[in-house]
Amino acid sequence: GYNRQPRSGGGGGTAEELYKYIQSIDRAQYPAYRDMMGTWEYKDFTLIVDYVQSDPFAPPSRCRVRVPTSRANFPADLTSSKIRTVGFCDYLSRMFWRETNDAGADAAPDNQGWHGSKGGAIMMEKPGQHVLERTSVLLSKGFIEARFTITLPARGRSIEGLRAAAIFGDELPPIVANSLYARSLNLDHLRDHVISVEDQEHLRRVSLNKLGLVAFVANGAVLPRKSGIDDAPMDRTKAILFESPPSLAVEVKLPNGRTVTGMGIPKGIALIVGGGFHGKSTLLEALEVGVYNHVPGDGREFVATDLTGVKIRAEDGRSVTSVDISPFINNLPFQKSTKSFSTPDASGSTSQVRSLVRDNHIGWWIDENSPRVVVYTGGEHHRSCSSRHKVPIGR
């Protein structure tokens, strides 16, 4: 992993020594890169090469940079609590990714065949819309650490030393300088990011319980996404912004002076009804991810869900082991017991019942589009249409 110690005989020294070594192995066989493993001191940061890939087609090499907090010079209040630190590190991850993307450093040459040039990309995984506690950027005592990968360049299996030296000498330092130092960033934008995350966390962990709610959706929220494969928000000018029905409207005061008004969903059973394409599933999808904080501008910043909530759906083919599903299913073929039911390949109904039974101590979000509706049937209207002994599911 990233904390693995360099191998015996590994590299280490100044940045100038690193450049000279890489240039000296130009056209050498690829394993010569392995002597780069170690700690290299640049003028304003430290580079640690934890792992060097075995050949150009192997998983990329793993690296870290450390910037002393005294040099990064960020205001101390931005990391004064755990949740503020999460927001702070999330923001720096986004800035590091942006710099690699804008500079084109994350784009390796197109496939040029076996003997063609390959590799050369500096990569950090692109953060999504959720603000999460990540390992891409960490704040430790005395330094900020960013973790990323580099595909060390080669032509065939021969090292492209001059190109590699340019990556470590010309491309990496500006990426670090533009993403991990206060002087290079918009501190107002960073502060808004951190404060928004802190307010969202307070809404979820404190306000919901205080108000007896399981979820909250702020007025003006943009719930629809850009597309089914793009989690970014729909254009606000085209979206219908959320507005709470007056009967469920509540006002919430948040710790940084913000007050939000929206729909509060109380504890108990809530039924969302409406015609097709009226937004029922869109609302439920937003509530499903309401356990996460979101980046400012996502549209779901103040859609908050109790942390114990889970989505229940049919999961055809999943295994079920020793679960009492008898409250929902009985009279299976061959007198198979449902008191301690097991199967390596559950049907949609039995897989869903398993989730209902196992997760009955927490909240459920159920969308009519994804469960087996038959699980919830079994009343008098349903029984009037079929003999009871022919309806093993439902009570």
- Burial of residue 258 (CB within 10 Å: 0-12, 13-18, 19+) is middle
pLDDT of residue 314: 80
Q: Tell me the three state secondary structure of residue 152.
A: coil
Domain match, 172 and 200 both: no
pLDDT of residue 372 exceeding 90, the answer is no
Q: What is the pLDDT of residue 269?
A: 86
Residue 227 to residue 158: CA distance in whole angstroms: 43
- Average pLDDT of 343-371? 76
Confidence (pLDDT) at 377? 47
Q: Are residues 261 and 132 part of one domain?
A: no
pLDDT level of residue 54 (50, 70, 90 thresholds): very high
Residue 178 lies in a domain: yes
Query: 337 is in which domain, residue-wise?
Result: 311-385
- Where does the pLDDT of residue 247 fall: very low under 50, low under 70, confident under 90, or very high at 90 and above? very high
Q: Is the dihedral of CA 73, 74, 75, 81 positive or negative?
A: negative
Cα–Cα nearest to 152, from 137, 141, 163: 163
Whether 331 and 362 have beta carbons less than 8 Å apart is answered as no
Q: Is 221 within the bounds of a domain?
A: yes
Residue 393 lies in a domain: no
Last residue of a domain, one of 117, 152, 185: 185
Q: Which of 81-85, 135-139, 317-321, 347-351 has the lowest mean pLDDT?
A: 347-351
| Residue 391 domain flag | no
Q: For residues 98 and 102, what is the distance between their CA atoms, to the nearest angstrom?
A: 6
CA atoms of 298 and 316, how far apart (whole Å): 32
Task: Give one DSSP letter per residue of 185-222, joined into a string.
Answer: S-HHHHHHHHHHHHHHHHIIIIIHHHHTEEEEEETT--
Last residue of a domain, one of 290, 307, 324: 307
The reported pLDDT for the residue numbered 382 is 46
For residues 103 and 150, state if they share a domain: yes
- Asked if 346 and 331 sit in the same domain, the reply is yes
Q: Is pLDDT of 353 > 60? A: yes
- Say if residue 173 is in the same domain as residue 194: no
pLDDT tens sequence across 326-339: 888 887 877 788 89
At residue 348, does pLDDT exceed 60?
yes
- Same domain membership, residue 288 and residue 347: no
Q: How far apart are CA 148 and CA 48, in angstroms?
A: 11
- Whether residue 24 is found in the same domain as residue 165: yes
User: Does the pLDDT of residue 378 top 70, yes or no?
Assistant: no
What are the pLDDT digits (tens) for 293-309? Answer: 999 999 999 999 999 88
- pLDDT score at 351: 85
Are residue 198 and residue 273 in the same domain, yes or no? yes
Counted domains in the chain: 3
Q: Mark whether 181 and 193 lie in a shared domain.
A: no
Question: Can you give the pLDDT at residue 109?
Answer: 64
Based on the domain organization, do 68 and 128 belong to the same domain?
yes
Examine the domain organization and report whether 193 and 244 are in the same domain: yes
**How wide is the angle at C-alpha 170 spanned by C-alphas 166 and 173, nearest 5°?**
130
Partners of 46 in beta bridges: 41, 66
Q: Is residue 47 part of a domain?
A: yes
In the listed set 160, 185, 210, which residue is the last one of a domain according to the structure?
Answer: 185
Q: Does the pLDDT of residue 128 top 90, yes or no?
A: yes
Give me the mean pLDDT over the 356-369 stretch: 70
Q: Which two tokens stand for residue 79?
A: 């990391």
Full-model pTM: 0.85
- Please report whether residue 369 resides in a domain: yes
- The whole-number average pLDDT for the span 267-280 is 88
Residues 151 and 197 in one domain: no
The DSSP output letter for 23 is: H
pLDDT of the residue at 395 = 47
pLDDT of residue 374: 46
